[in-house]
Amino acid sequence: MKFRVIMKTPDALEYALMTAYPVEESASQEAIEVASKGIEDAMELCERKWFRCGELLTVEIDTEAQTCVVVPVRE
């Protein structure tokens, strides 16, 4: 059986990206700008391809194939 689940995860994407691009409090302005750009670019990609409104993610589960895949956002 196949079915879809829509998950609403406010702030989860942003939190995950901020964790992926950690910046120390004493970091230079250049390091902060590099991390900010990385977060911005990754957020844009994720919102364009998989997340609606930055917080809605749809997955399709197939119990026969035992798979779970992210359903791309339709443009």
Domains of the chain, by residue range, sit at: 2-70
- Residue whose pair of structure tokens reads 């990206």 in the numeric block: 17
**pTM of structure:** 0.79
What lies within 8 Å, CB to CB, of 7 at 6+ separation is 56, 57, 58, 59
**CA triplet 16, 19, 24: central angle to 5 degrees?**
155
pLDDT of 15: 93
What is the per-residue pLDDT across 10-25, written as a single tens digit (0 to 9) for each?
Answer: 999 999 999 999 888 8
